[in-house]
Each structure stands twice: as C-alpha cells, then as structure tokens.
C-alpha cells in the first residue's frame, strides 16, 4: 500500500529539514527522552525551542564583517571599500569571549548531562558501603563491622546534591586468602580504569594508607580524591572529612561541585551546550576565532574573508543550518524508531 516504517527519528528529522526545529533543539529532544535524573530533564528542557541568544548575537555581529571582507575582495582594488582591521579584531575578540564563556559553561554542563562515574575504594572497613548507601539515599549495600563484607562491584545511578552520579562500591583492598574476596579485589582494577573519579576512603584514625593501596592508585593519580571517613570519631585531620554515619557529607559535596562544575552552579549550566558534538564545535569556534585574531593587517584579504567564513560555517554547523548529512546521521542514529 506504499506504506513503510519510519526510520529512527524520521519525524523529527523532517521538522529539522523543513526549518521547524534547529539541530540543537533536536538534540535536546533526544536528551529529554533519555533523561534519567531531574537535572538531566531540566537541562534538556532548557535547550528545547529557539537556539541560545549568544549564537544569534554572534551571527549578527559577524555577518556585516563577512559582507565587508567579501566586498574588499571584489572592489578592494578600487579602494572604494576598506576593512577597518582594528575594529574587526575588537569585534572578533568580543565574539571569542562569548564562545569562551560558553565553552567553560559547557564543560561543566557536560557532567550534568552525562553523569559522573565515581568509585569508592579503600581498605576493608573504611566505610565504602556506608558512604555508598548515604550517597545513593537507599540501603543498597550490605554494611557490617566484618572486614571484607563487600565482594562484588555494586553499581547504582543516583542524583546527589544536583549531581548525577554513577556510584561503584568495591571490595576493600587487601591481600586475602579467601578466594571469593580475591576475585572481588581483582575486579576493582577494571572499575578504576573506567571511572571519572576515585574516592579513596581513609578512616580518620588511620595514619596513612598502606603502600599496596597507594601503588594500586598511583596510575590514576589525576582522578583520585582522598576522603577521610569516620569524621564523627575524631577531629584534627585536614582535607575532605565526612561521616556517612551522621550524614555529614558537606565537605564532599563542595569538593565534587568544585571539581566538576567549577564556579558554575547546576542552575547556571541550564541551557549550556553539553553534547560531545556541540562541545567539539564550540572548541573549534574558539580556535577559529583565535585564528582570525592572529591575522595581521598585511594579510591578503582572501585570508581574512575565508577565516571569517570559517567562523560562520562553524556556527551553521552548530545549529544544523548547514545540513551536513554526516552530522545529521550522527544525531538521528540515536533516536528510536518513529519519533
Ligand atoms: N562511627 C562511624 N562508623 C562508620 C562510619 N562509616 C562506616 N562505619 C562503620 O564501619 C563498619 C564498616 O563499614 P562498611 O561501610 O561496611 O565498610 P566497607 O569499607 O564497605 O568495608 P568492606 O566492604 O568490608 O570493604 C560498619 O560497622 C559501619 O557501621 C562512620 O562514618 N562513622
Ligand atoms: Mg563494603
């Protein structure tokens, strides 16, 4: 009867191709469908609709300069039209600054969109499972005073203090003769590889960690954060001190927000461009702006015109106005059938 099944995202794709939606809104729709936490939902919602104002402003600022640069190419010999190079550079510097601000915001927003993978490691009885439960807000992992309680890796997805977290509770690190516990410890290595952050739990009363644990964590130094547990049992230690027992996790909250969001609050990340594709284009926009800023007045006008065109093309790639098929395929392949 001439009927066929719709391709993944085909209805949305038609809306895009008919100019009813921008690629940014389409990507937000995709995020909306797959949002798993409140923050992810709010982030997606903030990107639906018209594209952000800063893009529109950048285009408005850039357009006359492209026109001028092209005119210089056509009529420059007659000296009717000149390019005021200093004003051009000042304008581009302003545009670059807005790109840079967005770049910073999106590197924070990325964590809110994608979630942060966090492993809890430490010696047996260092309070990993207790902290895991506290962060998850539910009694998920078994907690006992017997060292070596946790064997398997436990994973839970949760939202804590506005941060979407994938938490991994692991077996306490020690040399054990128990074959089951040994298997559990062996699994920790795989977790360390794949997470974004390793919380190395060290009870307040411990003087330091044993060499074995430090050696294991050494290859991941850049993503290890030491957290002193059993904060209710004493005082005096500096650094991040928490007590999962009493629920005092403020220091950890500050440390995580600082590390992943920097100066941006979760709310300040709403509307930021957070997908990998968008972040890549943003990086290129900053790079391309720097390229223009690196030009000198003696450069051939062709070079100026083409560098400005490059910025324009990147903005069009961001919004999807350029309709490049490979970009569209990349975006729509993640959609469900129909939609
Ligand atoms: N006072 C106090 N006790 C705690 C705290 N955190 C954990 N505990 C206790 O310490 C013991 C061990 O806690 P777990 O959370 O099971 O420790 P773990 O690191 O998961 O231990 P393994 O799974 O054996 O590696 C339990 O009896 C907890 O109740 C804390 O912050 N304060
Ligand atoms: Mg445990």
Ligand 1 centroid to 261 CA: how many Å? 29
Considering the domain architecture, whether residues 32 and 92 belong to the same structural domain is answered as yes
pLDDT at position 315: 96
Ligand 2 centroid to 163 CA: how many Å? 23
pLDDT tens, position by position, 177-215: 888 888 988 899 999 999 999 999 999 998 888 888 999
- What's the rounded mean pLDDT across residues 215-228? 95
Got the DSSP string for 61-123?
A: HHHHHHHHHHHHHHHGGGTS----HHHHHHHHHHHHHHHHHHHHHHHHHHHHHH-EEEEEEES
Residue 338 lies in a domain: no
Query: Rounded to whole angstroms, how far apart are CA atoms 192 and 211?
Result: 17
Count up the domains in the chain and report the number. Answer: 2
Residue 201 phi/psi, 5° resolution?
-85, 130
Considering the domain architecture, whether residues 119 and 256 belong to the same structural domain is answered as yes
**Helix residue spans in 125-178 (DSSP H):** 128-136
Ligand 1 pocket test, pick from 121, 123, 127 with the greatest ligand atom count within 8 Å of Cβ, gives 127
pLDDT at position 236: 65
Ligand 1 pocket test, pick from 121, 129, 213 with the greatest ligand atom count within 8 Å of Cβ, gives 129
Considering the domain architecture, whether residues 104 and 119 belong to the same structural domain is answered as no
What residues make up the domain containing 208?
Answer: 115-268
Considering the domain architecture, whether residues 123 and 106 belong to the same structural domain is answered as no
Residue with the smallest CA separation from ligand 1 atom 1 is 230
Q: Please name the residues in contact with 103: beta carbons below 8 A apart, sequence gap of 6 or more.
A: 279, 282, 283, 286
pLDDT tens, position by position, 36-69: 888 889 999 999 988 899 999 999 999 999 988 8
Considering the domain architecture, whether residues 89 and 141 belong to the same structural domain is answered as no
Considering the domain architecture, whether residues 97 and 161 belong to the same structural domain is answered as no
Q: Is the CB of 127 under 6 A from ligand 1?
A: yes
Considering the domain architecture, whether residues 91 and 120 belong to the same structural domain is answered as no
pLDDT for residue 223 is more than 80 = yes
Considering the domain architecture, whether residues 122 and 107 belong to the same structural domain is answered as no
Residue 4 lies in a domain: no
Residue 337 lies in a domain: no
Q: Is the CB of 325 under 6 A from ligand 1?
A: no
Ligand 1 centroid to 152 CA: how many Å? 16
Residue among 335, 284, 301 nearest 16 (CA): 335
pLDDT at position 262: 93
Q: Give the pLDDT band of residue 77 (cuts 50, 70, 90).
A: low
Considering the domain architecture, whether residues 120 and 245 belong to the same structural domain is answered as yes
pLDDT tens, position by position, 312-325: 999 999 998 887 77
Domain boundary among 268, 302, 324: 268
Q: Give the pLDDT band of residue 7 (cuts 50, 70, 90).
A: confident
Considering the domain architecture, whether residues 227 and 195 belong to the same structural domain is answered as yes
Ligand closest to Cα of 145 equals 1
Q: Which atom of ligand 1 is nearest to the CA of 242?
A: 31
Q: Which atom of ligand 1 is nearest to the CA of 171?
A: 25
Considering the domain architecture, whether residues 304 and 260 belong to the same structural domain is answered as no
Residue with the smallest CA separation from ligand 1 atom 32 is 230
Q: Please name the residues in contact with 175: beta carbons below 8 A apart, sequence gap of 6 or more.
A: 212
Average pLDDT value over all residues in the chain: 90
pLDDT at position 304: 92
Q: Which atom of ligand 1 is nearest to the CA of 120?
A: 19
pLDDT for residue 176 is more than 80 = yes
CATH number, domain containing residue 97:
1.20.120.430
pLDDT at position 316: 93
CATH number, domain containing residue 170:
3.40.50.300
């Amino acid at each position: 009867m001439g009927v066929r099944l719709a391709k993944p995202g085909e209805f949305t794709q038609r809306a895009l191709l008919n100019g009813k939606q921008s690629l940014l809104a389409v990507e937000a729709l995709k995020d909306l469908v797959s949002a798993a936490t409140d923050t992810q939902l709010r982030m997606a919602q903030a990107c639906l609709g018209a594209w952000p104002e800063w893009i529109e402003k950048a285009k408005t600022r850039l357009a006359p300069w492209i026109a001028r640069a092209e005119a210089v190419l056509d009529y420059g010999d007659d000296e009717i039209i000149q390019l005021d190079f200093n004003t051009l550079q000042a304008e581009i510097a302003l545009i670059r600054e807005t790109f840079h601000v967005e770049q910073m915001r999106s590197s924070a927003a990325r964590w809110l969109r994608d979630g942060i993978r966090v492993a809890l490691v430490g010696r047996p009885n260092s309070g990993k499972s207790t902290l895991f439960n506290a962060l998850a807000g539910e009694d998920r992992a078994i907690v006992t005073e017997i060292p070596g309680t946790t064997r398997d890796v436990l994973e839970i997805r949760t939202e804590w203090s506005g941060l979407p977290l994938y938490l991994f509770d692991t077996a306490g690190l020690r040399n054990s003769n128990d074959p089951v516990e040994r298997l559990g410890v062996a699994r920790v290595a795989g977790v360390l590889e794949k997470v974004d952050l390793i919380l190395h739990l060290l009870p307040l009363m411990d003087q330091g960690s044993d060499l074995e644990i430090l050696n294991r964590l050494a290859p991941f130094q850049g993503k290890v954060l030491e957290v002193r547990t059993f904060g209710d049992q004493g005082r005096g230690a500096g650094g991040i001190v928490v007590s999962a027992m009493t629920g005092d996790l403020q220091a950890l909250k500050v440390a995580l927000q600082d590390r992943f969001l920097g100066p941006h609050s979760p709310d300040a990340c709403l509307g930021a461009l957070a997908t990998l594709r968008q972040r890549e284009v943003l990086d290129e926009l900053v790079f391309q702006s720097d390229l223009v800023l690196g030009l000198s007045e003696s450069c051939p006008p062709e070079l100026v015109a083409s560098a400005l065109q490059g910025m324009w093309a990147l903005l069009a790639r961001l919004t999807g106005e350029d309709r490049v098929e490979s970009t569209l395929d990349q975006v729509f392949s993640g959609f469900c059938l129909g939609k």
